[in-house]
Structure 1
Amino acid sequence: MNFTRNPHTARSRRNNQIATFGFYALGALVMLLIFWLLFTILSKGLPQLRPEFLVKLPEEIDPGGGIGPVLFNSFYILFISLLISIPIGLGAGIYMAEYAPDNRFTGALRICVESLSSVPSIVFGLLGLAIFAEYFDIGLTILGGGVSLALLNLPMLARVTEEAVRAVPGDIREAGYALGMTKFHVIRKVVLPVALPAIVTGICLVAGRAFGESAVIILTAGLSTSGEMWDFNLFSPGETLAVHLWYVQSEAIVEDARQIADKSAAVLVFVVLLINFIFRFPLWLGNRKKGH
């Protein structure tokens, strides 16, 4: 029987070609949109960027201010939030995937985690404000901002970790058990290395979200800094670069507010890209060594 002349086969091939072209076109459109956004933001800010802008103090009235303290606060709060959210999020995800029994309670727990992942960030900001500024009465601080960002990122990180661990083929686990390995040893030596790329993707997502978050920081860390470049005091006010960008665009009265906003936006985008590169480069290097 000649299948090439079958009308159903010809129609299927034609639909396949149309679908292939459509998906390639959509992918190219998305890539063009991303590159256009990056080019628009970076081309406005990077040509004006000077090293002293990254370390100078912001100015309220005189032109020529920098972003030194707010940039430091951004990294400091990001570090605090990841220090809290990564161990707890990874542990919760591994527990839900490997240890939690499959019953109604764990099913309801998964729904709750998924729901928390989609809650607006301002809700976590209000929660942090109620805990740190009102209950503990410590005001708007770096500590409050870091912990609130950790709470914001925990549900997403736990869910991504659970899905990454569940996606590991069961045959790999069975091979480990056949060699006499314990469950924890299988998870540590077999499952996690296979799931690591997806877990790193989740960490990149929450790190970029935390670095660019503004609503939570405004409510928990404030709209000001201590005025020092390297202030490690957890109870100092913690304005970040994203908050500073919003403030310069909407409230600042300095003459060069537009230029400061353009340069701040370029730095913000560049740092987010850099964070993704730092997390992914070791994986790329490890895969390249395995390939050789």
Structure 2
Amino acid sequence: MKNNAKLTNKIMTGVFYAIAFFVVTLLVFLVGTILVKGWGFWDPSFLFGRPSNTQPGGGIGPQLFNSFYLLVITLVISTPLGIGAGIYLAEYAKQGKFLNFVRLCIETMASLPSIVVGLFGLLIFVTFSGWGYTLIGGALVITILNLPSLTRVCENAITSVSTEVKQASLALGATRWQTMVKVVLPAALQQIITGIILAAGRIFGEAAALIYTAGLTTPMLRTAASIDSPMNPFNIFRPAESLAVHIWKLNSEGIVPDAALIATRSAAVLIVMVLLFNVIARLLANIIDKRLKGTSKIKKKNVAA
């Protein structure tokens, strides 16, 4: 029996290692293929130039800026909402029919196709509001897409914090809110950062919802223009074609002489953006986590001693 158990354990361990190896190999293959086909994507004239419908080698400067600006606005809106909803569901909501109904709504929203949410955004943020195609409309519709998953990640992260840690904080005289801010959230930071990274990936890669809300064009951007001008890059009420939408438009319309090359280079830039954001977010999360937990201070004291 013991030999059979050991053999089964070795077989299953090998299976799990094989699955992990397959996933890593698939990721490397996909990233490598996109980078090889889009080789030369680091050319400054391509990264910071404007696209052209008549000359080959059009740049992606406005689309690149729009993607990063959209990322910042969407995270500013969705992160507080997601963390707040996660705190409510994990700590303040009472078990019962209402909480079950809220969780059902969250799960239903998480399963909605992005094109359906995009059409909803077209109806509310474009037509009903009278804004037209705007960057803020795209940010709001991406927030709707990201909020369910971000809420569940934050709720699970807060729930996973040890009950003994929370009770110890309350026993020392801290209020419930102080315990949440000073103890629970720092302990759950790593998982919350994971949820934010997943949300950012969707912001970078989403196209269907943004086509109907942020639009397919970008005006000539000029920093000297007034803030309410469509040409001001920081005006949130202007059309803003993201990089993912730009790739879709190149492959669907193909009116640019070298549309395929620009699309593959744009895809390579998109991949690099996602990878860099993940790495930077992880590094910042580790730094913040060490400071909140006092790990760095303890190491400095040990070195000084």
1:196 to 2:198 alignment:
no
* DSSP 3-state at the match of 2:188: helix
- Which residue among 259, 273, 292 is the counterpart of 2:261? 259
Q: 1:120 to 1:290 in 2, by over 3 A?
A: farther
Q: Look up the equivalent residue of 2:280 and give its one-letter code.
A: I
Q: Look up the equivalent residue of 1:175 and give its one-letter code.
A: A
- Which residue among 141, 148, 154 is the counterpart of 1:155? 148
Residue 61 of structure 1: how far off its partner (Å): 2.2
Q: Look up the equivalent residue of 2:124 and give its one-letter code.
A: I
* DSSP 3-state at the match of 1:94: helix
What's the counterpart of residue 5 of structure 1? Answer: none
Q: 1:194 to 1:221 in 2, by over 3 A?
A: same
What's the counterpart of residue 95 of structure 2? Answer: 102
Q: Look up the equivalent residue of 1:232 and give its one-letter code.
A: F
Work out whether residues 54 and 256 of structure 2, in 8 Å CA contact, stay in contact via their aligned partners in 1: yes
What's the counterpart of residue 240 of structure 1? Answer: 242
What's the counterpart of residue 228 of structure 2? Answer: none
What's the counterpart of residue 3 of structure 1? Answer: none
- Which residue among 26, 46, 49 is the counterpart of 2:19? 26
Highest relative contact order (Cα 8 Å, sep 6+), 1 or 2?
Answer: 1
What's the counterpart of residue 280 of structure 2? Answer: 278
* DSSP 3-state at the match of 2:38: helix
- Which residue among 4, 13, 23 is the counterpart of 1:11? 4
* DSSP 3-state at the match of 2:221: coil
What's the counterpart of residue 271 of structure 2? Answer: 269
Matches of residues 23-172 of structure 1 in structure 2 within 5 Å? 23-172=16-165
Distance 1:36 1:27 in 2: 14
Distance 1:48 1:151 in 2: 32
- The percentage of aligned residue pairs carrying the same residue is 48
Q: 1:48 to 1:107 in 2, by over 3 A?
A: closer
Q: Look up the equivalent residue of 1:259 and give its one-letter code.
A: L
Q: Look up the equivalent residue of 1:276 and give its one-letter code.
A: N
TM-score, normalization by structure 1:
0.93
CA deviation digits over 1:99-154, x for unaligned, max 9? 01111110121121122112111121111100122111221111111111111111
Structure 2: gaps of 5 or more residues? 224-232, 300-305
CA deviation digits over 1:56-93, x for unaligned, max 9? 11111221210011111111112111111111111011
Q: Look up the equivalent residue of 2:160 and give its one-letter code.
A: A
Work out whether residues 55 and 229 of structure 1, in 8 Å CA contact, stay in contact via their aligned partners in 2: no
Work out whether residues 93 and 159 of structure 1, in 8 Å CA contact, stay in contact via their aligned partners in 2: yes
Residue 229 of structure 1: how far off its partner (Å): 6.0
TM-score, normalization by structure 2:
0.90
Q: Look up the equivalent residue of 1:112 and give its one-letter code.
A: C
Work out whether residues 87 and 158 of structure 2, in 8 Å CA contact, stay in contact via their aligned partners in 1: yes
**Aligned Cα root-mean-square deviation (Å):** 1.5
Count of residue pairs brought into register by the alignment: 285
